[in-house]
């Protein structure tokens, strides 16, 4: 998101909410170069003609010359994203285009997010071992706290549950905001412009991508995306 007005220098806000300002420097040959910084001092008022500020999937911001338009049609991109959206276990995965490829990205901390989502909210679980050592039970403990606070044990439970739920939501939001994405599957458009080559990430040897098959994007996406995040992914050959 780019923003500017007459009184402040140009700045760009990435998806994590970090604000970046554009600065001008010089190369060794005294030619102008442009870069971004979180510092606003000395920032320029607008992006120079022939340049743009961009953000990659991991929130890194940079100044570049505008890229050629993607070779991927909006229809094909929509078809792939629709399949990804239908896979509930891939909620935090993303699809982006780069050149002639539709790429599926996985969040590197997806396991931590899923584990947090499955975790049962138990606001007093940390107290129970200590109470057990003291020979006390949770109900008596809550009654004592409620008596000191001038309220009921039910109100104490309700407040504690609310706080625990909000703490869990804040942690999940923090994990999402600081997620790093890595490519896991891609569909590359062939030179003829009507078929895609499906490939999955290979984690063995020197081969980065393992070719699967070619065909229409809708067919390939339905066949292969559902395996991402499952053991069956590694059986795809």
Structural domain of residue 46, as residue ranges? 2-64
- Residue 192: band (very low, low, confident or very high) from pLDDT cuts 50, 70, 90: confident
Same-domain status, 191 and 162: no
Classify residue 69: in a domain, yes or no.
no
Q: With beta carbons less than 8 A apart as the criterion, state whether 164 and 197 touch.
A: no
Residue with tokens 């923090």: 174
Q: pTM for this one?
A: 0.66
Convert 42-62 to b/e letters by CB count within 10 Å (16 or more is b): ebeeebeeeeebebebebebe
Q: Region 162-178: what's the mean pLDDT? A: 82
Classify residue 213: in a domain, yes or no.
yes
Contacts of 61 (CB under 8 A, 6+ apart): 12, 14, 18, 20, 36, 53, 54, 55
Instruction: Out of 129, 149, 177, pick the residue that ends a domain.
Output: 177
Q: What is the pLDDT of residues 10-52, one digit of tens each?
A: 999 998 888 999 999 999 999 999 999 999 999 999 999 999 9
Classify residue 8: in a domain, yes or no.
yes
Same-domain status, 8 and 58: yes
The count of structural domains within the chain is: 3
Same-domain status, 102 and 193: yes
DSSP output for 67-91: PPPPSS-HHHHHHHHHHHHH-GGGT
Same-domain status, 154 and 41: no
Query: What separation, in Å, do the N-terminal and C-terminal C-alpha atoms of the chain show?
Result: 40
Contacts of 224 (CB under 8 A, 6+ apart): 185, 198, 200, 212, 236
Lowest mean pLDDT among 3-17, 43-57, 124-138: 3-17
The half-sphere exposure of 48 on its side-chain side, counting CA atoms within 13 A, is: 16
What's the pLDDT score for residue 92? 85
Same-domain status, 184 and 172: no
Same-domain status, 100 and 133: no
Q: What is the pLDDT of residues 101-110, one digit of tens each?
A: 999 999 887 6
């Amino acid at each position: 998101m780019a923003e500017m007005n007459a009184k402040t220098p140009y700045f760009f806000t990435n998806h994590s909410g970090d604000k970046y300002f554009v600065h001008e420097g010089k190369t060794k040959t005294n030619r102008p170069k442009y870069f971004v910084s979180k510092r606003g001092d000395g920032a320029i008022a607008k992006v120079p003609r022939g340049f743009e500020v961009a953000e990659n999937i991991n929130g890194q911001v940079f100044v570049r010359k505008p890229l050629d338009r993607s070779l991927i049609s909006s229809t094909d991109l929509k078809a792939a994203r629709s399949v990804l959206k239908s896979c509930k276990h891939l909620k935090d995965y993303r699809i982006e285009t780069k050149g002639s490829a539709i790429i599926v990205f996985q969040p590197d901390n997806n396991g931590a997010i899923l584990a947090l989502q499955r975790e049962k909210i138990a606001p007093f679980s940390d107290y129970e071992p200590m109470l057990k050592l003291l020979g006390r039970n949770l109900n008596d403990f809550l009654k004592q706290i409620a008596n000191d606070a001038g309220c009921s044990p039910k109100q104490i439970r309700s407040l504690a549950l609310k706080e625990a739920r909000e703490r869990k939501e804040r942690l999940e939001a923090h994990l999402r905001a600081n997620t790093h994405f890595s490519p896991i599957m891609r569909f590359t458009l062939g030179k003829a412009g009507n078929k895609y080559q499906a490939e999955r990430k290979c984690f063995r040897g020197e081969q980065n991508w393992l070719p699967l098959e070619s065909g229409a994007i809708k067919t390939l996406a339905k066949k292969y995306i559902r395996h991402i995040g499952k053991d069956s992914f590694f059986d795809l050959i």
